[in-house]
Structure 1
Amino acid sequence: MRKLLIAILIFGFCFYGGSELSAFEIKATSIDPPTENREEESQREKIVYLTFDDGPSRATDKILDILKKYDIKATFFVIGTSIESNPNTFKRTIDEGHSVCIHTYTHNKNIYNDVESFFKDNERCRELLEEKMYRGTNKYFRFPGGSSNRMGNKTTLKEIRQEAFNRELCYVDWNMSLEDSIYKNTPSSTLLRTFKKQYKNQDRIVILMHDAHYNMTTAEALPVIIKFLKHEGYEFSDFGNISEDEYVKLKRMRLINKYEVE
């Protein structure tokens, strides 16, 4: 079976202060090609959603600098207490046209104690966004740990998902992750190896990344990721810019409302 050669991407990152990346390269490698021929491949609509959890923080500012440089909009799933600690960064995120969605107010595992606890936390974050005059969509949110996490009881989590459906809310999962929240400030080279390993040339990619204060290396890795995805023909979108057709496609891919009716 023929193989598709990925172009060598070598970038210097001294201007980002990323010592881990100064000598890093994503080397040429071969991956299984799509079933389409090259002409059909070039005509495929490929969209990627860059999503960041757990901000805002000082790492968010670094990420915003990079997104501004490449003229890309992203989606930030925010923590309420972090908004209160970093109001200027939150305002900048909005002013620069990015989408802001609810992650949680506290990010405390106790929110999974029962349905009431979860939505009390969710509503508190929603009210804070309204207080800060954010008028973007609050329809989308992301569960801390994802929609099938191990932070809470399975039955309780199922009840929470059902209540979200009842409230006409949409939870967002992912099909790629940098795994940048497992350890603090994971080396950028490690994050990029994870990205390379998980990349599958899907029509739609939702990438999970983090912008907590200990995710500075995520910002260092981001330019390589952006350049690679541009090279592969992806358009960049966010969760404030989703058509009905796009919603249906993401839902079919189980990236939105993965367990809609259980």
Structure 2
Amino acid sequence: MGLNAKEARQEARKAEAVKEAEAEKKKAEKEEKKKEKEAEEQRKKELSVQPGVAVGTTEASDEKIVYLTFDDGPSENTQKVLDILDQYDAKATFFITGQKPEYRPMIKKAYDAGHTIGLHSFCHDYETVYSSEEAYLKDLEEVGEIAKEQIGFVPCFIRFPGGSSNTVSRNYMEGIMSVLVPKVLELGYQYYDWNVSSGDGGTATTEEIIAQSETDKYHQVMLLFHDAATKETTIEALPTVLEYYKNLGYSFKAIDRESLVVHHQVNN
């Protein structure tokens, strides 16, 4: 027996309702995909890297800035560094390691004081870090997790152990830096070398560190220091270096997305 007119209308309405529901579902799925795409594009934008500026080139800005950077911490000296920076109203960037777990709360303290946290290495053992691409990325992920535990996110600013121009990595894998440099950029990180080195990574005296740190060659200085327990000479030299640049009209800023980016020539 066929449907009467009323039943036919009811079936038609049901079919129309199903059709509308399916259309709404497709629309919602489309909107969700659109949001996901926009979120991904925003993430890429936020992590977008800036072009590298080779050492010795003229910076785009004439603003006189010193970007103080401290590798290898946190350590027994981190609080001393923070106290000196505070005295001069200076901001800096700390490229951290995982070497001294007992000082990890200093990462958050530095961040809360307005300094930038960057990633250096978890173990800082060249033989381990530069044994393979996988080993380096594992180490980078591990130190990133330390930062995340302290400040709630993984920084996108990094510094290679020894810098991108290091050649010691050749002892462990030929061509590893030529692989890692484009890889970290592809992953959304930006790496920073330096255009002035204090020389405090070795056995330089306080006077030698001061002499090597001070220059009027650049409008924007990316200055390499070390935050490590053995670097009392750095603590001794730092106030004099800050006074020097302050008297020349420089400001002291932490690295951000608008900062000068210094990239060395890759040599392995």
Same fold (TM over 0.5): yes
The alignment status of 1:242 with 2:257, answered yes or no, reads: yes
Separation in 2, partners of 1:88, 1:164: 27
Q: Report the 3-state secondary structure (helix = DSSP H, G, I; strand = E; otherwise coil) of the residue aligned with 2:141.
A: helix
Within 5 A, what are the aligned runs for 1:1-80? 44-80=62-98
Corresponding letter in the other structure for 1:179: G
Q: Report the 3-state secondary structure (helix = DSSP H, G, I; strand = E; otherwise coil) of the residue aligned with 2:151.
A: coil
Separation in 1, partners of 2:220, 2:149: 33
Unaligned runs of 5+ in 1: 1-42
Which structure has the larger Rg over C-alpha atoms?
2
| Mean CA deviation greater in 67-76 or 161-170 | 161-170
How far off is 1:163 after superposition?
Answer: 0.9
Whether contact under 8 Å (1:57, 1:212) holds in the other structure is yes
Please name the residue that 2:200 is paired with. 180
How far off is 1:96 after superposition?
Answer: 1.4
CA RMSD of aligned residues (A): 2.1
The alignment status of 1:104 with 2:124, answered yes or no, reads: no
Separation in 2, partners of 1:203, 1:143: 24
Unaligned runs of 5+ in 2: 1-60
Q: Report the 3-state secondary structure (helix = DSSP H, G, I; strand = E; otherwise coil) of the residue aligned with 1:97.
A: coil
Q: Using a 3 Å threshold, how does the CA distance of structure 1 residues 193 and 130 change in structure 2: closer, same or farther?
A: same
Please name the residue that 1:116 is paired with. 134
Whether contact under 8 Å (2:96, 2:117) holds in the other structure is yes
Whether contact under 8 Å (1:79, 1:104) holds in the other structure is yes
Whether contact under 8 Å (1:112, 1:151) holds in the other structure is no
Q: Report the 3-state secondary structure (helix = DSSP H, G, I; strand = E; otherwise coil) of the residue aligned with 2:175.
A: helix
Choose from 199, 210, 220 the match for 1:204.
220
Whether contact under 8 Å (2:120, 2:160) holds in the other structure is yes
Corresponding letter in the other structure for 2:181: R
Please name the residue that 1:95 is paired with. 112
Choose from 223, 230, 236 the match for 1:214.
230
Corresponding letter in the other structure for 1:99: T
Separation in 1, partners of 2:124, 2:118: 14
Please name the residue that 2:241 is paired with. 225
How far off is 1:56 after superposition?
Answer: 0.7
Corresponding letter in the other structure for 2:195: N
Separation in 2, partners of 1:195, 1:129: 28
Q: Using a 3 Å threshold, how does the CA distance of structure 1 residues 235 and 127 change in structure 2: closer, same or farther?
A: same
Please name the residue that 2:48 is paired with. none
How far off is 1:259 after superposition?
Answer: 5.9
The alignment status of 1:140 with 2:157, answered yes or no, reads: yes
Cα deviation, 1:152-198, whole Å, max 9, x if unaligned, reads 12511110112112112111000101110112xx43112112224xx
Cα deviation, 1:33-62, whole Å, max 9, x if unaligned, reads xxxxxxxxxx94111100000011111111
Q: Report the 3-state secondary structure (helix = DSSP H, G, I; strand = E; otherwise coil) of the residue aligned with 1:122.
A: helix
Separation in 1, partners of 2:123, 2:132: 15
Whether contact under 8 Å (1:161, 1:259) holds in the other structure is no
How far off is 1:94 after superposition?
Answer: 2.1
Q: Report the 3-state secondary structure (helix = DSSP H, G, I; strand = E; otherwise coil) of the residue aligned with 1:81.
A: coil
The alignment status of 1:165 with 2:182, answered yes or no, reads: no
Cα deviation, 1:93-131, whole Å, max 9, x if unaligned, reads 122121110000000112101110000000011112112
Number of aligned residue pairs: 203
Separation in 2, partners of 1:76, 1:134: 16
Whether contact under 8 Å (2:107, 2:150) holds in the other structure is no
Whether contact under 8 Å (1:102, 1:140) holds in the other structure is yes
Q: Report the 3-state secondary structure (helix = DSSP H, G, I; strand = E; otherwise coil) of the residue aligned with 1:62.
A: helix
